[in-house]
Each structure stands twice: as structure tokens, then as C-alpha cells.
Amino acid sequence: MVAQFTDKHVGKRVVDQNGVEVGTVNDIRNGDLHVEVGPDADPETLSELQWDGTVNQQVHHLRDRYVSDITDATVRLNV
């Protein structure tokens, strides 16, 4: 999904394809989503998003290719 992300997306919950929360949209930079990872995020999902590297970050860039749907309250992923 290719979308134009704006400040209206900040604060939305980010959920995996099963509806399990991964985190929250923290910021929009240059039209890209940046997600603050939640404390209960599934390590497998983080690995699929390539957010599990040696650098322990709280906020990660969410690539468009992982977004499957956006509603008023959530950004749903395809992983």
C-alpha cells in the first residue's frame, strides 16, 4: 500500500495482521510513519519488520510495504 501519511496519523495504534498491537504512530517524517514500539510487541512481528537488529530503538521507520490498511483508529500491517 502506498499512502500519503500526514500528522492526522500520529497517535494511531499499529496492529499486526491478527490485530495484536505493535505500537503507536509517534511521528511523520518526510511523509513516512515512525512507530514507537509497545512493551508487549511480539518479537516475531518485530523481526519480520526488521526492527530487531542489534540497535535497541524505541521508534522505528515503518516501510509502506508493511501497511495493508488504515482506519480511523489503526494502521494494520500485513505481517
pLDDT tens digits, 55-68:
567 899 999 999 99
pLDDT at 4 > cutoff 80 = no
Total count of domains within the chain: 1
Residue-range definition of the domain harbouring residue 38: 7-77
- The answer to whether position 2 is within a domain reads no
* pTM score, whole prediction: 0.89
pLDDT tens digits, 20-56:
999 999 999 998 999 999 988 999 999 999 998 655 6
- The answer to whether position 18 is within a domain reads yes
Task: Specify the CATH number for the domain of residue 45.
Answer: 2.30.30.240
Farthest CA pair distance, the chain: 34
In SS3 terms, 6-38 reads as CHHHCCCEEECCCCCEEEEEEEEECCEEEEEEC
- The answer to whether position 12 is within a domain reads yes
Dihedral sign of CA atoms 35, 63, 33, 60 in order: positive
